[in-house]
Structure 1
Amino acid sequence: MSMNGEYLRLTPAELDRALKDPEWAWNLVEETLDAQVEGEPASAETRHFTTHQTWHLLGFLLQRSNFPVDVIHGEEPLTTDHWGYGPPQYLTPERVQLAADILRRTTYDQLIQGVDPSELTKAEIYPQIWDSPASLEWAGDLFAPLTAFFRDAASAGHAMLIWID
């Protein structure tokens, strides 16, 4: 079983409701994922995004660059209940906006500049595949869509639920 970074956009009203009723939020996640499986096309209104297994590498790279928002784990706890590999956390609309603004000015090449794959092995970055410099390219294909997802959420004034599943 793999560990995947998961994101769900929420309106401010939905975030308020989720904070009062985390079970409602989990049901919304399930409904959204079920609709996505049924072939809902990706668009600026797409509510769910996954970084798949690249979440840990992206987190390492962003932390290494002193990124001011934790876009990999979230910053505030929604509940103490586990949604996979720990409790979900969230970002307020203001933090989503800040993250989107900085992500827009950040390239994946900037993030991996000067990184040696041995650093990833030493830091035990999941999954353990860091045997060559080319392995750093692995998460590059998901960085641009993650940036777009945050940009679209920020443009709509949305908050973000984040969890590892």
Structure 2
Amino acid sequence: MSMNGNWLRVSPDELERARTDLTWAYELAMTARDDNSGRWTATDKAWNGLDFLLDRLGFEIPLVLGAEAFVEVPDVEPDSEEMFDFRYLLA
């Protein structure tokens, strides 16, 4: 199993709207991807390598979670089974 990273460049207004309208954000991302927009890019399987290298350089923004949280994530240990319990998202 691997994790593929995808990036969409958005304006501050678009980011604010995405926080409250995830369906709109998804549609925006898929349209940019399908149109081969310069706003969309993918790191594919290099994602973990980039995260590792930037972490070693002391980069302070967690790339895997991003700089902006869309949902409140419970305070759990990263490698614990609780980390993969997504039931709280359905509440």
- Indicate the TM-score class for this superposition, using the shorter chain for normalisation: 0.5 to 0.7
CA distance in 2, matches of 1:55, 1:73: 12
CA distance in 2, matches of 1:77, 1:57: 22
Which position in structure 2 is the counterpart of 1:30?
30
| Greater C-alpha Rg | 1
Percent sequence identity is: 39
1:13-24 mapped onto 2 (5 Å cutoff) = 13-24=13-24
Which position in structure 1 is the counterpart of 2:70?
78
The Cα shift of 1:62 comes to 0.9
TM (norm. structure 1) is 0.39
Q: Which structure shows the higher helix fraction?
A: 1
> Unaligned stretches of 5+ in structure 2?
73-91
Which position in structure 2 is the counterpart of 1:62?
54
Instruction: Choose between structure 1 and 2 for higher RCO, CA contacts under 8 A separated by at least 6 residues.
Output: 1
Q: Tell me the number of residue pairs that the alignment of Structure 1 and Structure 2 aligns.
A: 72
Deviation string 1:14-68 (CA, Å, 9 cap, x unpaired) is 11111111111011111111111xxx5xxxxx10111110110110111111112
Segments ≥4 residues shifted beyond 6 Å: none
> Unaligned stretches of 5+ in structure 1?
41-45, 81-165
TM (norm. structure 2) is 0.67
